[in-house]
Amino acid sequence: MDHSNYQSILDTVLQKASKAGAEHAAAVMSDDTSGTLRFAANRPTQHKTHRNTELSLAVSIAGKEAICETNLLQENDLESVAAKAVQFARNAPENPEFFPPLRQQTYTATQAWFDSTAAISIPERGEIVGEMCAHAESENTDLFGNLEVSSGFMAVANTNGLFAGQPVTEVSLSLTARTRNSNGSSQAHLWERDWNKLKYMESAERTIKVARNSVNPKPLDPGHYTVILSPKAVSEYLMFVVFAMDARMADTGQSFFGKQSNKSRLNDGCFQDIVTLKSMSDHPELPTPCFGQAFGSGGSAAGTLFSTGLPVQTTEWIENGIVKNFRYSPWYALKNNRVPIAYPFNLYMSGDSSSLDELIAEVKRGVLIESFWYVNPTDWSRLELTGLTRDGTFLIENGKITCPVNSFRFNDSPVRSLNRISGMTHPEKIYGEYWPGMFPWIRVDDFNLSSVSNAV
């Protein structure tokens, strides 16, 4: 579909919603072409390509809301979906946390589309998968994973005069390497918008090497250890810090960032002054769209569409150890005279000048952890987390990695960990469970590896 038609389609469905009786309306449209190449045991197993064009319409009448979605975009189809949305809204209960659609916003131009990604052919994708699998075969290791390439356009318009649209591309590569005896494993996840920056062989070679090095782990007792966490593990651990930095949760005492006095820890120095964590709209390695949607508790599903179009901006979550921002939904921001924050497209943690070898050299006895898995909160008030180490856990003795060891369950808090950092490298690009980002290797003292796990 010609991208110039998007605004016309959105305007049409909004007009029909208003004519049907909607007081407010917002429409979001996406057009995405995606191809996924799966591979297992060093050979491709499936390739599928699909294209999906979808329109979501949210309407409200006197604070009562409804959403309808369709992929039928002829004029009579748009009239039908508008009529259904209005009918559903009339029958819905009033939303006590209603907020109207955004007004027109000002955006900073960003580049989220790269021709290199849109142009990469299916045979070319097969060639790089073949190259990675051939290397795994030469190392007597099996490689599994997915290579997904997508390109498309997203647009939003509402009855308050807002319109925003932007083309986007994305590449995602997940890798798992397993040794033939199946007791050595490693994994990686790469993300780019620009195909030319995808370091697939470098990542595959490292993943295979870690898997081979993790074979036949030695037993190690649980306990409190100095640990070195990979950028991937850091990302999987610290994403819960941002999830906990919700203004409403803090104000009502439902997270670590709240206080019993009904005040939050905003502007408090909660961490070491070497800790800075932010989401960036202008980092050259982390290109983002220029707009997004609400990120914070309060509101509704329809309100999420009403909030779509928020400008994506650089947000300092923690700066030199000080809590600088919380995430505010439009409803809660309006209630508290604050500015809502768009859902971030990345996370960035600043690092230091040490090398990984230097971090290891200063550890008398500790554990290097390549990855966490199944991390979940156990106590939001103290930001306590639990999870497993996986895909490469190694003993450090007298400044050297000496052997692989069994995996562990950990029980600890990033609040404590961010106050026990004893070294960091420069940040590296990784893809975490929720966001791409840049994180350093970090060394943390007195980390609680609470029990042994049989995870590989």
Of the candidates 262, 256, 278, 270, the one whose C-alpha atom is nearest the C-alpha of residue 385 is 256
Mean pLDDT within 176-202: 94
Least-confidence region, from 92-106, 139-153, 258-272, 341-355 = 258-272
Mean pLDDT computed over 303-323: 95
Residue type, 298: G
In this prediction, residue 283 carries a pLDDT of 95
Tens-digit pLDDT profile for residues 45-61? 999 999 999 999 999 99
pLDDT in tens, 5-39: 899 999 999 999 999 999 999 999 999 999 999 99
CB 249 within 8 A of CB 240: no
Residue 1 pLDDT > 70: no
- pLDDT value, residue 262: 65
Instruction: Give the Å distances, CA to CA, from 155 to 9, 181, 184, 346.
Output: 10, 49, 45, 20
DSSP state of 92: S
Please tell me the number of Cα atoms within 13 Å of 447 on its side-chain side: 29
Q: Map out the domains of the chain as residue ranges.
A: 5-210, 217-238+351-453
The whole-angstrom separation of Cα 295 and Cα 308 is 10
Q: In 215-326, where does DSSP find H-type helix?
A: 231-244, 247-251, 301-307
pLDDT category at 3 given cuts 50, 70, 90 is: low
Q: What is the pLDDT of residues 108-145, one digit of tens each?
A: 999 999 999 999 999 999 999 999 999 999 999 999 99
Strand spans (E) along 282-414 = 291-292, 310-311, 315-319, 322-323, 347-349, 365-379, 384-397, 400-404, 407-412
Q: Is pLDDT above 60 for 335?
A: yes
- Report yes or no: 164 and 108 within 8 Å, Cβ to Cβ: no
The tens digit of pLDDT for each residue in 390-443 reads: 999 999 999 999 999 999 999 999 999 999 999 999 999 999 778 899 999 999
pLDDT single digits (tens) 103-113: 999 999 999 99
Whether pLDDT at 261 is above 70: no
pLDDT tier at 2, thresholds 50, 70, 90: low
Superfamily of domain 5-210: PmbA/TldD superfamily (3.30.2290.10)
Q: What is the pTM of this model?
A: 0.93
Between CA 24 and CA 9 the distance in angstroms is 17
pLDDT over 60 at 235, yes or no: yes
- Percent of the chain scored above 70 by pLDDT? 98
Distance of CA 423 to the CA centre of its chain: 25
85-94, 216-225, 296-305: segment of lowest average pLDDT? 296-305
**Mean predicted lDDT score pLDDT of the chain:** 94
Quote the pLDDT of residue 367.
98
